[in-house]
Chains A and B, each alone.
Chain A
Amino acid sequence: MELAGLLNYAVFSITLAGIYAVTALGLNMQWGFTGMLNIGVAAFYSVGAYATAIVTGPEGAYLGGFGLPFPVGLAVAMAASGVIAFLIGLITVNLRTDYLAIASIGIAEIIRLIFTNEEWLTGGVRGIAGIPKPLGGLIPGGDQALYMILVLVLLVAVYLAFERAYNSPWGRVLRAIREDEPATEAAGKSVLRFRLQAFVIGAMAMGLAGALYAHFVSFISPEAFRPDLATFLIWVMLIAGGSGNNRGAILGAFVIWAVWSGTEFLTGFLPSGMVTQAGAFRVLLIGILLQVILIARPQGLLPERPPRSPVESRREGRRRM
């Protein structure tokens, strides 16, 4: 029994950490590769969650009851996040880093307000319950483990795609924009187009993660998301792991998820009157952890190592000759 409980907890943790890792990869595309500071991560994540809930979920006092299969839900989630990111990106993506950050809190706030207020669409504060859990009953008692494997497979797929993007000429342009925007513009690249592409693709990964989360917990509501907290955790994950490094983003997600879960045990030491405040105490600890990382190791656990450009390696080669 003890062992089974432990195993269950491990499966649960790995699934959630995997979902966070997909989100962190999306943020890495936006911030790590391209240098776009998005403080509205949770908005794109929740768009994905609601999109799949609406197309696959049961009928209720909201738009829904289409009963479409799970893969369609994931596809719709990514499309919805992508389209919204495209529309928002068109007007905000060329803003200076800090202005984009400010604009992105506005975006997140408005999307949160829409999900809270538009009951016909999202069920308002009551949220949407009974989102189907896929892969049920294939192996008796193995639903959770199967779902974990599915999340990990998708995580690896996103990782491979992003790694390829990073090393491609396309990824090189993104890094060039991050390092020196005017020079990239002068080299004849459309900064707006590349930024928009990275913003949309990053948001699609966030939408996918949100959808995976919705099917995992099968209930979503505006309160369940704590958008500021979710966004903050993803940021700490990416910075702890190493911005710009896809493996870093994944490592950071798992490490910070472990620390975040670990703080739950620490709350046992709180005075009894403060037990209800355990959540706030945990956020406080993670907030302090971020400050320590920023001061002591801002490059993260796995610092970015951009591939050398062909020109550079050719030059190296010549020198060696």
Chain B
Amino acid sequence: MEFLQLVVYGIVLGSIITLGAIGVSMIFGILRFAHFAHGDLMTLGAYFAFVCVVTFGLPMIVAFALAIVGGAAAAVLLDQTLYRRLRRSPPVILLISSFGVALILRSLVQLIWGPSTQVYESGIQMPVLVAGLRIKPDHFWIVGGALALVVGLHLFLQRTTMGKAMRAMSDNVDLARITGIDTEKVVIWTWIIAGLMAAAAGVFLAMDTRLHPTMGWRFLLSVFAAAILGGIGRPYGAIAGGMVIGISEEVSTLFLNPSYKAAVSFAILVVMLIVRPTGLFGGRS
């Protein structure tokens, strides 16, 4: 039972990781660099919702919608002001730039909202018992919300022209360009989706735990681990990767000091990189 309970927590955590990993994986696939500011983009999204809920007193669901729009806008703004200027540099320069952006975002969040931990609403949520397992109402929202976003992404990638262009560009940039795909437009849509998903992940993470300026940065390792596990440039793989990482992190607390959860994602990540760098389902190396 203890084990199953941890699996439930793992699925909740995995849903949050998945949303972050989808963005990292898409950016990696299309722009060819590891986006080190993704965790802090999550943090920013979480705080957008905080403003809506606490400052303006809006209901959580409206706050969530506004936060993900804000996250998408922030991601596009970052790309257009900074990353766009570095498109012709080697991808590793973009990686270093995004490491700087991570610190810029974190210090902005700290400047605006302060360095202490905060919550959307105080008070303890009573868990409901489902088949003997304790599940908090928030957990339903998190898993349900993540599921809805993933289904939405699936429809977008499969049914729209932009989705097709995106998949084409992730497979082969040069080939995509000569078939007349407007690559800059694809890049902007990539940031919209990645920013939206990251903000959603941030809000869910804050619902599950608390808001703190470093919440996203601490989460980044799990997100990268999930993206690599699922195969870079494969948003669908990121879902499986997120679940594997989330569940292993939670279940590991059975035999490991919970402070060392990060070590679990690290171990999975390193083993994966050595044994099968293309990911579980053979994405790009």
* Interface positions of A (Cβ within 8 A of B): 37, 39, 91-92, 95-99, 101-103, 105-107, 109-110, 113, 116-117, 228-229, 232, 235-236, 239, 274, 276-277, 280-281, 283-284, 286-288, 290-291, 294-295, 298
Contacts and interface: CB of A to CB of B under 8 A. Distances in A.
B104 interface: yes
Contacts of B34: 98, 101-102
A276 B89 CA distance: 38
A291 B97 contact: yes
B92 A287 contact: no
A281 B114 CA distance: 12
Contacts of A276: 115
A277 B115 contact: yes
B266 A106 contact: yes
A264 to B, nearest CB: 15
Contact of A283 (B107, B218, B262, B285): B107
B263 A95 contact: no
Interface in B98-133: 99-101, 103-104, 106-108, 110-111, 114-115
7 contacts: A98-B34, A106-B263, A110-B266, A232-B99, A291-B100, A295-B82, A298-B93
Given A284-B107, A290-B100, A102 B228 contact: yes
A277 B107 CA distance: 9
B270 interface: yes
Contact of B260 (A102, A110, A298): A110
Nearest to B222: A106
B9 interface: no
B21 to A, nearest CB: 12
Contacts of B274: 91, 95
A300 B224 CA distance: 29
B163 interface: no
Given A106-B265, A291-B97, 10 more contacts: A92-B270, A99-B228, A116-B259, A277-B110, A280-B115, A283-B107, A287-B100, A287-B103, A290-B100, A294-B86
Contact of B273 (A103, A110, A287): A103
Interface of B: 33-34, 36, 82, 85-86, 89, 91-93, 95-97, 99-101, 103-104, 106-108, 110-111, 114-115, 213, 217-218, 220-221, 224, 228, 257, 259-260, 262-263, 265-266, 269-270, 273-274, 277, 285
B270 A294 contact: no
A252 to B, nearest CB: 14
Contacts of A101: 34, 36, 95
Contacts of B82: 291, 295
B103 A113 contact: no
Contacts of A290: 96-97, 100
Contact of B266 (A103, A291, A298): A103
Contacts of B277: 96, 99
A239 B263 contact: no
Contacts of B95: 37, 97-98, 101
A106 B34 CA distance: 14
A235 B269 CA distance: 24
A10 B178 CA distance: 59
A298 B115 contact: no
B259 A113 contact: yes
A276 B99 CA distance: 24
Contacts of B97: 290-291, 294
Contacts of B96: 37, 235, 239, 290, 294
Nearest to B24: A102
Contacts of A37: 92, 95-96
A284 B89 contact: no
Contacts of B220: 105
Nearest to B220: A105
Contacts of A277: 110-111, 114-115
A280 B266 CA distance: 28
A135 to B, nearest CB: 35
Nearest to A229: B103
A109 B221 contact: yes
A91 B92 CA distance: 21
Contacts of A229: 103
A294 B99 CA distance: 12
Contact of A106 (B91, B213, B262): B262
